[in-house]
Structure 1
Amino acid sequence: MYLVTGATGLIGRPLIETLLAEGAEVRAVTRDPHNAGLPAGVEAVAPEAIHTALKDVRGLFVHPRATKDSIEELLRLAASQGVEKVVVMSAINVDDDPDHQPSRFNGDRNTEVERTVTGSGLPWVAVRPGSFAMNTLGMWRGQLTLGDTVRGPYAGFAEAVIHERDVAEVIARALLDDSLVGRRIPITGPKALRLDQMVPIIGSVLGRPLLFQEVPAELAAQGMIRNGLDEGFVRALMARYQREMQRSATVTDEVEKVLGRPARTFATWVADHKGAWS
């Protein structure tokens, strides 16, 4: 039996599907078990039932957002119930200065959750994904409903964004394969792409002549803040773009090492989410 926290989110759903395809039994923690819409055969449980949910669980997946306020208690209960392994998802920048982690301004606590898991005394695996390809939807979909040009800062900023299914499949392998215990695994997409390269790739998949037009960072920041994004997050994001323009983007082959196949490309991710852009 495998227990998945954050079961209805971006990673939880494909993780559950992957585990089921491997023949595993799955129990899923969700705030609304009766309306979670999980696949047949998955046992949905509410967070307040976590003590009994951990019974007979071999592997536990810890989602940092879902567990950040209860991680110590969750691990204590897991140990008391004889859970054999904990797999935690954090982020590829988890060891960076907290001020250099923009997601912290949105409430993420990847560093604290991972450190709590790795210091718990339970066997563990830490999966550290880079930026999700899904983030491009939040950044650019609104602009692309109005025209064929994306306006943003730092056109030359590059990163190897990752498909959420690759993340989920690596986590599933970490749960199922004991040879990965004790490893911190940084995973990325297969190739670093500049922002002004990513937008035309979206256009190629959608059949539209899309372009990226660079605008000053301060102008872009003010627009993001006016659209409701937290100012601290926006400032940290702009600082990250500026800082990382000066160094090569991180690209790893850990997805291929773990899964035996290359990571999915950004074009594949866009094709998999083609309908979301309209």
Structure 2
Amino acid sequence: MSGTLMTILVTGVRGNVGSRVARKLVAGGLPVRGTARDLAAPGLPDGVEIMHADLTRPQSLRGALKGVEKVFLYAVPQGIDGFIDAARSAGVRHVVLLSSIVVTGADRDRNSIARMHLDVEEPLRESGIGWTFIRPEALATNALAWAPGIRADGVVRCPYPGSYTAPVHEEDIADVVVRVLTTEGHLSAAYSLTGPQTLTQQDQVRLIGAVLRRAARCERIPVDAARAAMESIYPADVVETILAGQAMTDGRPATVLDTVEAVTGRPARTFATWAADHAADFR
């Protein structure tokens, strides 16, 4: 880690990635400030100065950004221009954005998830503030959506059991973010991250079952049934993007990248490791 102490702001400090980034920075002896919309809710990491702020209300960020040199930022398009103005005024030198690998796809202009992240990447790129983009592929934590089915009867119902991804552990994402925040040489870089294996949804469910020491499997359901279930949780355009992506990768192995090891110096964690780390969520 750098020998110079610097205040680092972690937005979304309760998030799967943000909370881990904050804890790792604190463990490294760095002063960390975190933002939260609800200061009373549980789950705030120890050793972090917490301030109320909301990325969709940039005026709320000015106090949180005071004296901050570096920021870990979630992609929230609403208010990004206000965030940039506030960061410039505060003298922020480096913003590390959690983006998505989908921004590198050929269909990125038609992909609602890619568009959301590009709507943050593009203003940051033009802001004059130093930037680094962290672009994970499928987050291993997406598998937490299967927990109710696995707990109930060991069956995950999905339209494309043979859809491949290379899921990446949130600890690996956080390790890359911390490395980028605390060492030199990462300005104007975009890092695409994957886990170390290409796995189907069925493969992932089986691995979770293996950790639990009981059978777990995928059961194919019609796309319309999956759409109806997903639209109770996500906006319709996001649902269509997810389903289209699964259809495109059905039976097509995902590309595996070694970026996690190249940046951190150690191999990416396997999905089996992730499943063991999250076994309690599926019991």
Q: Normalising to structure 2: TM-score of the pair? A: 0.88
- Cα offsets for 1:135-154 (capped at 9, x unmatched): 1111x222223212223222
Instruction: State whether residues 199 and 212 of structure 1, in contact with CA within 8 Å, keep that contact through their aligned partners in structure 2.
Output: yes
**Which residue is 2:227 aligned to?**
221
Question: How big is the shift at 1:73?
Answer: 1.6
1:259 to 260, 264, 268: 264
For structure 1, the residue ranges without an aligned partner over 5 or more in a row are none
Change (3 A) 1:235 1:70: closer
Change (3 A) 1:37 1:213: closer
Instruction: State whether residues 99 and 236 of structure 1, in contact with CA within 8 Å, keep that contact through their aligned partners in structure 2.
Output: no
SS at match of 1:271: helix
Question: RMSD of the alignment, in Å?
Answer: 2.1
SS at match of 1:145: helix
Question: How big is the shift at 1:11?
Answer: 1.3
Instruction: State whether residues 162 and 251 of structure 2, in contact with CA within 8 Å, keep that contact through their aligned partners in structure 1.
Output: no
1:101 to 93, 111, 116: 111
Instruction: State whether residues 164 and 251 of structure 2, in contact with CA within 8 Å, keep that contact through their aligned partners in structure 1.
Output: no
**Which residue is 2:3 aligned to?**
none
For structure 2, the residue ranges without an aligned partner over 5 or more in a row are 1-6, 54-58
> Runs in 1 of length 4+ with deviation above 4 angstroms?
34-37
Change (3 A) 1:194 1:39: closer
- Cα offsets for 1:89-115 (capped at 9, x unmatched): 1100024435653647xxx82111111
**Which residue is 2:87 aligned to?**
78
2:122 to 115, 119, 141: 115
Change (3 A) 1:155 1:87: same
Instruction: Give the alignment of 1:70-219 within 5 angstroms.
Output: 70-96=79-105, 97-98=107-108, 101=111, 103=113, 109-138=116-145, 140-219=146-225
Instruction: State whether residues 4 and 61 of structure 1, in contact with CA within 8 Å, keep that contact through their aligned partners in structure 2.
Output: yes
Matching residue's letter, 2:116: R
Change (3 A) 1:110 1:21: same
| Structure-1 separation of matches of 2:89 and 2:185 | 24
| Structure 1 range deviating more: 127-136 or 215-224 | 215-224
| Structure-1 separation of matches of 2:28 and 2:236 | 43
| Structure 1 range deviating more: 16-25 or 49-58 | 49-58
| Structure-2 separation of matches of 1:83 and 1:228 | 36
Q: What is the identity percentage for the equivalent residue pairs of Structure 1 and Structure 2?
A: 35
Matching residue's letter, 1:236: T
SS at match of 1:3: strand
